[in-house]
Amino acid sequence: KDQLVATSNVTNKNDPRSLNSRVFIGNLNTAVVTKGDIETIFAKYGKIVGCSVHKGFAFVQYVSERNARAAVARENTRVIAGQSLGNAVQMFINEL
């Protein structure tokens, strides 16, 4: 749980390391799911340095790409608040 202590809301840094270690989580019922819920679910894959929740989706920023890849590989089949994430957990790719 100590991994959640200093989590910021910043998930929009554009440097390559940040982009490669960011996870997009879609199909979220954000009327029910909180930032704390997302952090609790995704913290098991590594240190989270940022988490932001928006209507219907969230971003989790990890320290490393390895952590992000582990989260994507293991969380795509999860059901949160009655909604399947169904392949809506993905590595963030910046489309310029």
Would you kindly state where each structural domain of the chain is located, as residue ranges?
A: 2-91
pLDDT value at residue 89: 78
pLDDT recorded at residue 2: 42
- In sequence order, the 6+-apart residues with CB closer than 8 A to the CB of 84 are 27, 77, 78
What pLDDT was estimated at residue 13? 67
Instruction: Going from the first residue of the chain to its last (96 residues), give the mean pLDDT of each consecutive group of 10, the final group possibly shorter.
Output: 53 71 91 94 95 94 94 87 78 54
Q: What is d(CA 10, CA 13) in angstroms, rounded to the nearest whole number?
A: 7
pLDDT for 83: 84
Place of tokens 């590989």: 73
2-91: in CATH 3.30.70.330:
yes
What span, in angstroms and rounded, lies between the C-alpha atoms of 10 and 76? 23
Residue found under tokens 């009655």: 82
Whole-angstrom distance, CA of residue 32 vs CA of residue 38: 11
